[in-house]
Structures are given as structure tokens and as C-alpha cells.
Structure 1
């Protein structure tokens, strides 16, 4: 199995799935945008959001990110596990996250920024996960056989 550099996936504007635990022990899953900075995965939240509330009760979580391009034959899976912290909103960090997905600020939809993103909202939170374990899986051979669509970089993280 060939490995890949997780940072190459983390820089792409992909959706992540944040898995948390509810107060009754049931698993919950939330699709989220993210940014990788300072060896941490940062995801937006809000003071009253369900994922933020669950993480405040039980900080255990996992995040799964999949880069899938059927035409190119790329299928990369990156997983993180650990304990998340809920941080106050950081407008500068949140803007960098939004640029990753929305492009330059001149392209941003004003209604979305004012009514949904609310960059400067005091109720905004950032979910911070410094992974305690990391899992990478490159199954880009699903179309090509042993010739991988994603060239390995020679760098990998240990699997758990």
C-alpha cells in the first residue's frame, strides 16, 4: 500500500465528517469545512451548535476526509482521532478558512457572510483538533490496478 502526504489532501477544499458522541452515547456525524494550521484541524462552530455542545460534554471525536475523483482514479482517505477543544471565534482564522472554500473575498456572497458565516459574531466558535492518531489509506488503484493515480510523496503518518 502506498502512502500519501496528508497535507496534500488537507489543502484541498473538501468536506470533512466530524464524528462526536451524544449524551446518551449515540454517535453523531456533521459535515464541516476545515482548515489545517499549526498542526491542528480547525472547524467552524457556534456557541449553541449541536456539535459544539456535544464536544463540550465529551471531547472525544474523529474526523474523516475523503478525496475522491472518479475520472482521475483518485481515492484517498485521511482520518484523525483525538479530543477537540472549543476555542473562541478568531475572525482572521475564520476568513482564511472561508477563502479556502469561497476564493477571494471579492467573490463572497454578502448574504451568506452576513447571515450564515457571521465572521465577527461573539457566539462564533472554532473547533480545534490536534490529532492524537492519524490514519491514511490510498486506494487510488481502484481503476488502474497496481499503478496508483496519486503519486506517493514518500511521507506518511503512522496508522493507529
Structure 2
């Protein structure tokens, strides 16, 4: 069961995770921690990330050590809005699932796959999914009074 930790000001986590924001996946390697900016999809209290083992190194690191963290921030300097969700948990490399991948990419690229950048069309078995299972998430509204 996911444990949600809030500070003085929280926000609706599910609504926040519907937005096409960048997540930062932090993994461990023999040479220390590594960080990868990724697109993500939230479903049934799991975060899914598409990986390509031939060009992405994070799937191999997760197979070696599944403990990882994910940070997601929404920032609008004009309004002072700063929302942060910091997840800690474990991830697994799982076989590619076209349905999850299409839902993930559709959040960022729109519903019409034919209009997507060709790099994202027709993904298949040369790709994998990362299924991240959070144990805890820190949810904080750290907004401030804008000065610009």
C-alpha cells in the first residue's frame, strides 16, 4: 500500500500525475547514483516508463538493483506554482505492453499516433517497460510569491 507523506500543503496526487510532466528516475550503479529524465504514465499506483535497452542504460541498472526514486516537479515561475512529488520504491523491467506505451505516449504527443514524431511510432519488442512500485511518496506544494 502506497504511503503518502504531505507537508504543510499538499495537493491531489492523481490529478498532478495526469499532467505531461517530466519525471527524473534515479537509479544506482557501481559508479554511484544516476539520473534519467523520462516521460511516464501513472496507472493503478504504478509508474510506467518506456525503455530501449540498446540505447538506455537505466533498464540494466534496475535489473541489477531495483531500488530507485522518482521526482516530478511542476513549476510556473510567473505564478510561483511549485508542486513536487518524490517517490521511493522498487522497479522492475517488464515486457513491452503496446497498450500502456500508447497511453503513455498519447499524454505527451496527442491521441493521433499517425501525427507523432516517427521516433515514437510503431514501438514494439525492441522496447521494454519499467514498472515502478512506489512504497512512499512525499507530496508538497512549495509554491511561492512570484517576483517576476
CA distance in 2 between counterparts of 1:34 and 1:47 reads 17
Question: How many residues are matched?
Answer: 137
SS in structure 2 of the partner of residue 14 of structure 1:
coil
Instruction: Choose from 135, 139, 143 the match for 1:132.
Output: 135
Within a 5 Å distance, the mapping from 1:93-108 to structure 2 comes to 93-105=100-112, 106-108=114-116
Ranges in structure 2 where 5+ consecutive residues have no aligned partner: 1-7
Higher percent of residues as strand: 2
Q: 1:155 aligns to what?
A: none
Residue 119 of structure 1 and its aligned partner are, at CA, apart by 1.4
Q: TM-score, structure 2 length as denominator?
A: 0.87
Residue 113 of structure 1 and its aligned partner are, at CA, apart by 2.5
CA distance in 2 between counterparts of 1:134 and 1:99 reads 25
Instruction: Choose from 22, 44, 47 the match for 1:41.
Output: 47
Structure having the higher Rg:
1
CA distance in 2 between counterparts of 1:79 and 1:46 reads 24
Residue pair 1:81, 1:134 contacting (<8 A) in 2 also? yes
Pair 1:113-2:120 in alignment: yes
Q: 2:61 aligns to what?
A: 54
RMSD: 1.4
Within a 5 Å distance, the mapping from 1:70-85 to structure 2 comes to 70-85=77-92
Residue pair 1:18, 1:32 contacting (<8 A) in 2 also? yes
CA distance in 1 between counterparts of 2:15 and 2:79 reads 16
Ranges in structure 1 where 5+ consecutive residues have no aligned partner: 145-160
CA distance in 2 between counterparts of 1:81 and 1:5 reads 18
